[in-house]
């Protein structure tokens, strides 16, 4: 079986899930914590070497205060859960903003935890424009473009999994995603089931990799 | 009905279509010409104001010579067909290469034809890295990022239609595509039917537009 080197994970649908349950919208985020950990375990079982979670973005900062507080807390809690596993952990995002949680500053340099191993990147207050704003325009090959990104420690992504039914990237790492296969799951993120992940791996196994060639 | 302002079109699957017919791979491209014109007519019927066709890329230049000759010819022929319609035509790509067809240089400045109207952009020898290589790193808002692209005359894309079954962007305008909805059609591009286009419009009508917010 062909295993992706690096998967991106877009855990969308938390608010719609909460509404469907009759909860307030912001209540959905905390139900995404356990799925995040389950996905990490599956990544490790498959031998996938790197995973990047789409936490929250500079765009998300325009939402109502109650929602912001809830998704920031969920991201802090998620990173703290991941930090109990054997991972090489990196939090990436714009730290020059009060919305960036101070508790996560310590992970903005890659940190090996336990036996290390799986690279786990977590995007916190990430913006696609922030990411490319410092590109070095003097040297113009692909390597130097990657090296000019704020997210330069995140490698090219082979497969993106998006829950919540939307078929879009929503600003997720535009440069690392240029050649990614995109697999979407109609269920909302809190309704994560391992079977969805297995199906994505089976689907990926049947794609060809051309890197645009 | 909610109509996209700008659609991107990725006409993939020409070579697989040719193989399925028992033709040589490069024979498929010429069967994509009529579909391209049909798509333009539909764009105009729906009142969509801008369409961008993914012609060929710098990545594609690594293919066998017979294929290169065939897809370059198909792009020249496609642009010449479009240039008989009422359009505002722009060809965008890296012209500093012998692979860029001289016949299309005249359209690298936007040209109004007939009554003008629909903006039609056609990517020829386009590269995502070439596109972002000259970004102005001094001014860092989104407008200035867009203005720093080689493709600055191409606006944000609302909806991308991809034929040929693959679920990926393959380097297509990474900045204009950050918030695009992506609709994929399993049929190969030469098997274009108007119904596929109508279905995409119905699907788009049911998506919400959040621009990542």
B195-213: per-residue pLDDT in tens?
Answer: 999 999 999 999 987 877 7
Residue environment code for B65-94, b if the CB has 16+ CB neighbours within 10 A, otherwise e: eebbebbbebbbbbbeebbebebbbbbbbb
Query: How far is A105 from chain B, CA to nearest CA, in Å?
Result: 23
Q: What is the pLDDT of residue A137?
A: 62
**Domain presence at residue B101:** yes
- Residues A212/B170, Cβ–Cβ less than 8 Å: yes
B 115-134 residues with CB < 8 A to A: 128-130, 132-134
- Of B202, B193, B204, nearest to B39 by C-alpha is B193
Determine, for residues A180 and B168 on separate chains, whether the beta-carbon distance falls below 8 Å: yes
Cα B46 off chain centre by: 18
Query: How far is B64 from chain A, CA to nearest CA, in Å?
Result: 11
User: Is some CB atom of chain A closer than 8 A to the CB atom of B180?
Assistant: yes
Residue of A nearest to B54 (CA): A212
List pLDDT tens digits, range B139-164.
668 888 889 999 999 999 999 999 99
Determine, for residues B145 and A137 on separate chains, whether the beta-carbon distance falls below 8 Å: no
Q: What is the pLDDT of residue B213?
A: 75
Task: Reply yes or no on whether the pLDDT at B133 is more than 90.
Answer: no
B 65-124 residues with CB < 8 A to A: none
Asked whether the ipTM of the predicted complex exceeds the cut of 0.90, the reply is yes
Look at chain B and report how many structural domains it folds into: 1
**Domain presence at residue A150:** yes
pLDDT tier for residue B135 given thresholds of 50, 70 and 90: confident
Q: What is the pLDDT of residue B42?
A: 98
Q: What is the pLDDT of residue B140?
A: 67
Residues of B in contact with A169 (CB under 8 A): 169, 177-180, 182
**Domain presence at residue B211:** no
**Domain presence at residue A72:** yes
CATH number at residue B169: 3.40.1180.10
**Domain presence at residue A15:** yes
**Domain presence at residue A1:** no
Residues of B in contact with A209 (CB under 8 A): none
∠ CA B167-A176-A148, nearest 5°, is: 155
Task: Reply yes or no on whether the pLDDT at B169 is more than 80.
Answer: yes
**Domain presence at residue A182:** yes
Q: What is the pLDDT of residue B179?
A: 97
- Mutation for B interface: A147, A177, A178, A200, most B CBs within 10 A: A178
Across the interface, of A136, A178, A207, the residue whose CB is closest to B174 is A178
Across the interface, of A137, A178, A184, the residue whose CB is closest to B169 is A178
In the three-class reduction of DSSP (H, G, I as helix; E, B as strand; rest coil), residue A99 is classed as: coil
Distance CA B109, CA B92 (A): 9
Residues of B in contact with A183 (CB under 8 A): 167
Task: Reply yes or no on whether the pLDDT at B1 is more than 80.
Answer: yes
Q: What is the pLDDT of residue A129?
A: 94
| Domain residue limits at B188 | 6-205
Query: How far is A51 from chain B, CA to nearest CA, in Å?
Result: 18
| Phi, psi dihedral angles at B191 (to 5 degrees) | -95, 25
Q: What is the pLDDT of residue A177?
A: 98
Task: Reply yes or no on whether the pLDDT at B11 is more than 70.
Answer: yes
Determine, for residues A179 and B168 on separate chains, whether the beta-carbon distance falls below 8 Å: yes
Per-residue pLDDT of chain A (213 residues; tens, 9 = 90+): 999 999 999 999 999 999 999 999 999 999 999 999 999 999 999 999 999 999 999 999 999 999 999 999 999 999 999 999 999 999 999 999 999 999 999 999 999 999 889 999 999 999 999 999 888 666 668 888 889 999 999 999 999 999 999 999 999 999 999 999 999 999 999 999 999 999 999 999 999 878 777
Distance CA A92, CA A55 (A): 10
pTM above 0.80, yes or no: yes
CA quadruple A6, A182, A152, A131: dihedral positive or negative? Answer: negative
**Domain presence at residue A211:** no
Determine, for residues A182 and B167 on separate chains, whether the beta-carbon distance falls below 8 Å: yes
Q: What is the pLDDT of residue B136?
A: 67
């Amino acid at each position: 079986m062909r295993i992706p080197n690096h998967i991106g994970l877009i855990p969308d649908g938390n608010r719609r899930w909460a509404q469907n349950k009759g909860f307030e919208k912001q209540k959905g985020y905390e139900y995404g914590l356990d799925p995040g950990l389950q996905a990490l375990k599956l990544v490790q079982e498959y031998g996938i070497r790197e995973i990047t979670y789409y936490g929250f973005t500079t765009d998300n900062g325009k939402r109502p205060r109650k929602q912001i507080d809830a998704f920031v807390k969920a991201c802090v809690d998620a990173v703290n859960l991941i930090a109990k596993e054997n991972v090489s952990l990196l939090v990436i995002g714009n730290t020059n903003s009060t919305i960036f949680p101070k508790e996560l500053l310590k992970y903005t340099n890659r940190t090996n935890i336990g036996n290390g191993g799986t690279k786990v990147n977590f995007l916190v207050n990430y913006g696609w424009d922030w990411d490319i704003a410092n590109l070095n325009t003097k040297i113009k090959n692909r390597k130097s473009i990657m090296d000019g990104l704020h997210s330069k420690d995140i490698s090219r992504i082979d497969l993106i999994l998006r829950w919540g039914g939307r078929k879009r990237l929503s600003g997720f790492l535009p440069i690392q995603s240029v050649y990614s296969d995109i697999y979407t799951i109609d269920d909302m993120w809190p309704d994560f089931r391992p079977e969805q992940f297995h199906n994505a791996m089976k689907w990926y196994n049947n794609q060809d990799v051309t890197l645009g060639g």
